[in-house]
């Protein structure tokens, strides 16, 4: 997902399939998915999981005691304090010596004498780095009342960012002639064969590079890591904010450890009861509607910078560019490939997250593209992000026993969010085996959301040939959890508002705070939302039913 405080994700992606996935999924966002990972029941035996009886505290298990008993050794790292958390790679076999070492960063409370504890953040994705979230300044944007009472803590989830080992998906060995220009709506047998071949090649390359890690990067395991982090921070109960996919992580934690939650804010909610096809339709319809809203509201947001004087002119421009890029890519400075229709859809989708910050740049890019230059749109499709230097050292020792295991490859990019997004989505969300189910979904997706829908369906094909997890869609089961605050933005393209409504209803005592605006997520974008969220985090003040905020 994309937060208001962070840069946009990604370089140009290694795989065309991955590029289209990230734009239409994100995963929170989301970015990232056409589906963000669901939070469903895991297959382990610890915690209060749906359909199982509550069992002994995993912290008391002899084979987990060394992980739960570790102490974080904080050291300076720029403006923050950093440490490393060691967690078992496989919670069913924690004594096998295979581990992840997860970087953790902390911005200490501004008023130590008033400290309530630690506030743990997750920026979403799946695949976004929590350490980078702090480096990008999130702590400075959190209200003074919260900063006075909490240390702000975040971490890189297993397989993500500075995690050791980390996921990667290396390029396959096919030549340029063997790779295919994927249509937005594959209709013929030949087009579908090409799309399926590309998706399977992507999955195969990920298995070659990260195969041993793929079964162990799901959301349930990441939530268990967060409980180990809670213990290592010295907290009896968890105070948590998760954006986008971070709501899936938070929901999984609440289901496994409901009585260890102090306060939980889930912003940009993912409904765990939806299957893969429902998620595709929900999110792709959200992006289509957001682009329509851009046409309608561009003048109100960016004024004369709009690429048309009326909504009709803007829609006509977008349609004209779609037709043009389907026939031939637009020239892009420094690129021999240019911007095709998939890249255009990516640029449009990624520009819907924070209208107040992105619509002016999108408008300029569309004007340039109408004149024949796709360079600015290509930059938007890539995320327009420069590599971020980090002075965070993730190699410090911990007290958890064995050092982190070596990964299957050392060739891991600085930002491996694309690989993580695919790995978590495919593991968490059950997908059909065999391509026919995806072809059957194309026509309904086209009817519901046009090119956003069909692109969403084909982007899921990579999961058709991926190691499967045991999770299933279900309604939240978290008996004993305190009231959870769900924030829903009415015009959210990546995590549509109706999913926030549904998730709030599924939690016992769940509270819904509605933000009446376009864009992805609400906390950090609006003073009214910030006030309600922060009163809840500090004082556990409940949000009344029907509470709404508007910019």
Rounded CA-CA distance 85/398 in Å is 7
Report DSSP letters for 135-200, one per residue: HTTHHHHS-HHHHHHEEEEEEPPTBSTT-BSB------S--TTTS----SS--SHHHHHHHHHHHH
Is residue 47 left, alpha or beta, with left meaning phi > 0 and alpha meaning psi from -120 to 50?
Answer: left
Strands, DSSP E only, in 234-359? 238-243, 261-267, 330-332, 335-339
Rounded CA-CA distance 288/493 in Å is 8
Residue 226: HSE in the Cβ half-sphere, 13 Å Cα cutoff? 36
Q: Tell me, rounded to whole angstroms, the distance of Cα 437 from its chain centroid.
A: 25
Rounded CA-CA distance 549/469 in Å is 38
Q: Which pair of tokens denotes residue 224?
A: 């268990």
Return the number of other C-beta atoms located less than 10 Å from residue 436's C-beta.
10
Instruction: Single out the residue of 522, 138, 157, 144 nearest to residue 356, CA to CA.
Output: 522
Residue 397 burial class via C-beta count within 10 angstroms: exposed 0-12, middle 13-18, buried 19 and up: exposed
Backbone angles phi, psi at 268, to 5 degrees: 85, 65
The DSSP call for residue 464 is: G
Go through the chain and tell me how many residues it has.
Answer: 551
Do 69 and 61 contact (CB within 8 A), yes or no? no
3-state secondary structure of 342: helix
Rounded CA-CA distance 468/197 in Å is 19
Q: At 255, which helix (H) or strand (E)?
A: helix 245-256
Strands, DSSP E only, in 395-471? none
Do 1 and 439 contact (CB within 8 A), yes or no? no
| Contacts of 26 by beta carbon, 8 Å cutoff, 6+ apart | 1, 2, 9, 32, 33, 36, 124, 125, 244, 350, 353, 421, 494
| Contacts of 526 by beta carbon, 8 Å cutoff, 6+ apart | 515, 517, 549, 551
Rounded CA-CA distance 274/63 in Å is 35
Q: At 497, which helix (H) or strand (E)?
A: helix 497-506
Unique residue bearing structure tokens 């509201």:
297
Q: Which residues are catalytic?
A: 244, 492, 520
Q: What is the largest CA-CA distance in the chain?
A: 68
Bridge partners (DSSP) listed for residue 48: none
């Amino acid at each position: 997902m994309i937060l208001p405080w962070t840069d946009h994700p990604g370089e140009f992606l290694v795989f065309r399939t991955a590029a289209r996935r990230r734009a239409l999924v994100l995963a929170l966002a989301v970015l990232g998915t056409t589906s963000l990972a669901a939070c469903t029941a895991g297959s382990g035996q610890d915690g209060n999981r749906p359909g199982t009886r509550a069992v002994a505290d995993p912290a008391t298990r002899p084979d987990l005691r060394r992980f739960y008993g570790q102490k974080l050794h904080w050291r300076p790292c720029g403006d923050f304090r950093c440490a490393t958390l060691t967690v078992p790679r496989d919670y069913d076999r924690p004594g096998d010596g295979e581990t992840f070492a997860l970087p953790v960063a902390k911005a200490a409370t501004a008023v130590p004498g008033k400290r309530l504890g630690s506030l743990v953040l997750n920026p979403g994705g799946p695949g976004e780095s929590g350490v980078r979230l702090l480096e990008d300044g999130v702590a400075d944007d959190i209200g003074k009342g919260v900063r006075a009472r909490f240390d702000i803590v975040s971490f890189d989830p297993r397989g993500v960012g500075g995690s050791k080992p980390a996921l990667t998906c290396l390029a396959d060995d096919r030549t340029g002639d063997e790779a295919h220009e994927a249509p937005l709506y594959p209709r013929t047998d030949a087009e579908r064969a090409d799309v399926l071949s590309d998706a399977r090649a992507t999955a195969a390359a990920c298995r070659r590079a990260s195969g041993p890690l793929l079964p162990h990067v799901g959301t349930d395991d990441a939530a268990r890591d967060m409980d180990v982090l809670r213990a290592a921070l010295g907290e009896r109960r968890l105070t948590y904010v998760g954006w986008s996919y971070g709501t899936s992580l938070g929901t999984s934690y609440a289901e496994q450890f409901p009585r260890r939650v102090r306060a939980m804010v889930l912003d940009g909610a993912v409904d765990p009861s939806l299957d893969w096809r429902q998620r595709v339709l929900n999110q792709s319809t959200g992006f289509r509607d957001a682009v329509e809203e851009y046409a309608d509201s561009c003048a109100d947001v960016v004024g004369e910078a709009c690429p048309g004087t009326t909504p009709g002119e803007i829609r006509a421009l977008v349609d004209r560019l779609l037709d043009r890029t389907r026939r031939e890519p637009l020239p892009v400075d420094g690129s021999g490939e240019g911007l095709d229709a998939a890249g255009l859809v990516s640029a449009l989708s990624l520009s819907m997250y924070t209208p107040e910050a992105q619509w002016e740049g999108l408008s300029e890019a569309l004007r340039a593209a109408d004149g024949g230059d796709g360079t600015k749109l290509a930059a938007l499709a890539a995320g327009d992000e420069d590599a971020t230097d980090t002075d965070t050292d993730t190699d410090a020792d911990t007290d958890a026993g064995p050092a982190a295991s070596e990964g299957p490859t050392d060739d891991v990019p600085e930002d491996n969010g694309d690989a993580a997004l695919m790995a978590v989505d495919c593991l968490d969300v059950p997908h059909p085996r065999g391509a026919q189910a995806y072809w059957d979904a194309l026509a309904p997706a086209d009817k519901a959301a046009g090119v956003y829908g069909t692109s969403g369906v084909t982007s899921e094909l990579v999961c058709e040939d991926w190691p499967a997890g045991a999770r299933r869609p279900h309604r939240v089961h978290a008996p004993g959890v305190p009231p959870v605050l769900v924030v829903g933005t009415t015009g959210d393209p990546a995590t549509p508002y109706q999913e926030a409504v549904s998730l709030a209803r599924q939690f016992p005592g769940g509270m819904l705070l509605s933000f009446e605006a376009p864009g992805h997520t609400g906390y950090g974008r609006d003073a009214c939302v910030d006030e309600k969220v922060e009163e809840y985090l500090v004082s556990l003040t409940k949000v009344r039913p029907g509470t709404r905020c508007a910019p």
